[in-house]
C-alpha cells in the first residue's frame, strides 16, 4: 500500500521507459500518486501523438457554483498538462530531470458546459529542438507551450506557459 505524500519529501521518480514507448496509463497512475490532486481532476483518457498531448476530462469534478467549469481547476489542469508534456518529452529521450512551471497565463473565452478535451503543444514548432540544444549546451532550458481547452467544437480556454528544465542535481 502506498504511503500518503508528505510535505518536503519528493516522490520517487517513475523509471524511464528505456527505448520503449511510454505507457501513458502507468504514467497517469504514477502522476496520481506523485500529485494527489490529479485523482480529483477527472482525466479519463491521455494520448500523445507527435508534439501534441491530449487529455479527455469530465466536467462533473470541476464544477463551479454556476454549474460550469471552475476556472481554478481548469487553470490547474493546463499547468499540469504542460508539466506533463515536458516531462514526457524528456522521458522519450531517456532524460530524468526536474521540470517546473516558470510562467503561465490563461484566457477564458467561453464557459465550459460539458465534458471537454485539453490539447498541449509547443507554441513554436522549433521549440523542442531549441530545448534540446539548450540542454546539450547548458544542461538546462525552457520551452513555451500552448494549451487549448475545447468543449465540443468551442474553444473555451487558451493558456500560454513556459516550463524550465532544471540542471541535473
* Percent over 90 (pLDDT), the chain: 91
Task: Please give the domain boundaries of the chain with CATH numbers for all domains.
Answer: 24-165 (3.10.129.10)
> What's the confidence (pLDDT) of residue 19?
82
pLDDT in tens, 46-70: 999 999 999 999 999 999 999 999 9
Query: What cell numbers appear for 61 in the block?
Result: 469534478
Average pLDDT, the chain: 95
Q: pLDDT-derived band of residue 5, with 50, 70 and 90 as boundaries?
A: confident
Per DSSP, the residues of the chain read -PPPP-TT-PPPPPPP-TTSPP-HHHHHHHHHHHSGGGGGS-EEEEEEETTEEEEEE-SGGGB-TTSSB-HHHHHHHHHHHHHHHHHHHHHHTT----EEEEEEEEEE-S---S-EEEEEEESSTTHHHHHHHHHHHHS-EEEEEEEEEEETTEEEEEEEEEEEEPPP-
> What's the confidence (pLDDT) of residue 6?
86
> What's the confidence (pLDDT) of residue 93?
94
In this prediction, residues 23-27 reach a mean pLDDT of 94
- What does pTM read for this prediction? 0.95
pLDDT in tens, 95-138: 999 999 999 999 999 999 999 999 999 999 999 999 999 999 99
Whether 1 shows a pLDDT value over 60: the answer reads no
Amino acid at each position: 500500500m502506498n504511503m500518503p505524500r508528505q510535505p518536503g519529501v519528493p516522490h520517487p521518480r517513475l523509471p524511464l521507459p528505456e527505448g520503449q514507448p511510454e505507457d501513458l496509463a502507468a504514467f497517469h497512475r504514477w502522476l496520481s500518486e506523485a500529485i494527489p490532486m490529479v485523482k480529483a481532476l477527472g482525466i479519463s483518457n491521455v494520448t500523445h501523438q507527435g508534439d501534441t498531448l491530449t487529455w479527455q476530462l469530465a466536467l462533473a469534478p470541476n464544477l463551479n457554483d454556476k454549474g460550469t467549469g471552475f476556472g481554478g481547476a481548469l487553470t490547474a489542469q493546463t499547468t499540469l498538462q504542460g508539466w506533463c508534456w515536458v516531462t514526457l518529452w524528456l522521458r522519450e529521450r531517456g532524460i530524468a530531470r526536474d521540470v517546473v512551471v516558470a510562467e503561465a497565463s490563461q484566457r477564458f473565452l467561453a464557459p465550459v458546459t460539458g465534458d471537454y478535451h485539453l490539447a498541449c503543444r509547443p507554441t513554436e514548432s522549433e521549440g523542442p529542438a531549441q530545448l534540446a540544444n539548450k540542454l546539450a549546451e547548458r544542461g538546462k532550458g525552457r520551452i513555451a507551450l500552448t494549451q487549448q481547452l475545447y468543449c465540443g467544437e468551442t474553444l473555451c480556454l487558451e493558456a500560454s506557459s513556459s516550463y524550465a528544465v532544471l540542471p541535473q542535481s
